[in-house]
């Protein structure tokens, strides 16, 4: 086990005596690291501490795989992966990254269906930690308010950037849009390729997964049909 830097300072967001006791031992051995992990509460650790801990554990995984961490190409990989997890691909696990939503009055009295389609979805399968790559299509009817279009993309991205299953992701986005838009008249369809299917197991590169969540008016056949027809690639 490669020890963490004994001079490292682990920072707590909630700096109380109890929480300082929680991290009073700087992990410098396998036993210390295991004991720390068993007591780990992510809510009290700051971002840099999480990165240091993930880097230490990932370095051990690489050694178990037989990789040479003295190699110039590999020596910084544990830290690169840790930063990627915290700052990028799993940034949706941090509530502080949840997008703020601003609504505007529907001064144009637009009362038809509004659809934003082909929103990128980049997520990770929580079963195998490999990518889920696809697109989302969102529709809603205004109840007197409209949302900035980029906020829809940001909501989709926020819930995608964490270990996920597509079914949960679809429901989470739908529920957040209903809350943000203050209406039940929301629909979402996600179409995605799962690398856990294409890269391993059955290794099927041709299949894809589609999930949907329809609410309010979109449960009525005429509006559901209009939405589904509109998002078809032509």
- Rama region for 182: left / alpha / beta (φ>0; ψ in -120 to 50; rest): left
C-alpha 105/C-alpha 144 separation (Å) is 6
User: How far is the C-alpha of 100 from the C-alpha of 33, rounded, in Å?
Assistant: 37
C-alpha distances in Å from residue 174, one per residue of 66, 177, 196, 200: 44, 5, 25, 30
Query: Is 126 annotated in the active site?
Result: yes
Q: Are 196 and 164 in contact (CB under 8 A)?
A: no
Q: Which of 60, 128, 215, 226 is catalytic?
A: 128
The question of whether 166 is a catalytic residue gets the answer: yes
The catalytic residue among 175, 196, 215, 226 is 196
> For 134-168, b where at least 16 C-beta lie within 10 A, e where not — what string?
bbbbbbbbbeeebbeeebbbbbbbbbbbbbbebee
Active-site pick, 31, 127, 167, 210:
127
Given the residues 125, 164, 172, 191, the one annotated as active site: 125
Virtual torsion, Cα 18, 19, 23, 24, nearest 10 deg: -40
Q: Check 126, 167, 205, 220 and give the catalytic one.
A: 126
Catalytic residue among 164, 166, 172, 191: 166
Active site residues: 125-128, 166, 194, 196
């Amino acid at each position: 086990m490669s020890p963490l830097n004994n001079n490292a300072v682990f920072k707590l967001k909630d700096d109380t005596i109890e929480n300082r006791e929680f991290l009073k031992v700087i992990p410098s051995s396998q036993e210390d690291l295991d004991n720390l992990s068993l007591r780990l509460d992510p809510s009290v650790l700051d971002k840099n501490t999480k990165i240091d801990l993930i880097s230490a554990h990932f370095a051990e995984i690489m050694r178990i795989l037989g990789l040479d961490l003295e190699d110039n190409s590999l020596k910084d990989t544990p830290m690169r992966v840790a930063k990627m997890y915290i700052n990028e691909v799993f940034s949706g696990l941090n509530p502080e990254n949840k997008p703020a939503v601003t609504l505007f009055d529907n001064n144009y009295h637009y009362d038809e269906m509004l659809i934003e389609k082909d929103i990128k979805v980049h997520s990770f399968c929580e079963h195998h930690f490999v990518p889920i790559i696809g697109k989302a299509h969102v529709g809603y009817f205004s109840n007197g308010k409209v949302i900035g279009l980029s906020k829809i993309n940001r909501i989709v991205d926020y819930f995608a950037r964490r270990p996920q299953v597509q079914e949960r992701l679809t429901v989470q986005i739908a529920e957040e849009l209903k809350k943000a838009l203050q209406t039940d008249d929301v629909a979402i369809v996600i179409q995605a390729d799962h690398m856990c299917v294409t890269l391993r197991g059955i290794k099927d590169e041709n299949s894809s997964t589609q999930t949907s969540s329809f609410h309010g008016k979109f449960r009525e056949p005429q509006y559901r049909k209009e939405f589904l027809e509109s998002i078809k690639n032509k």
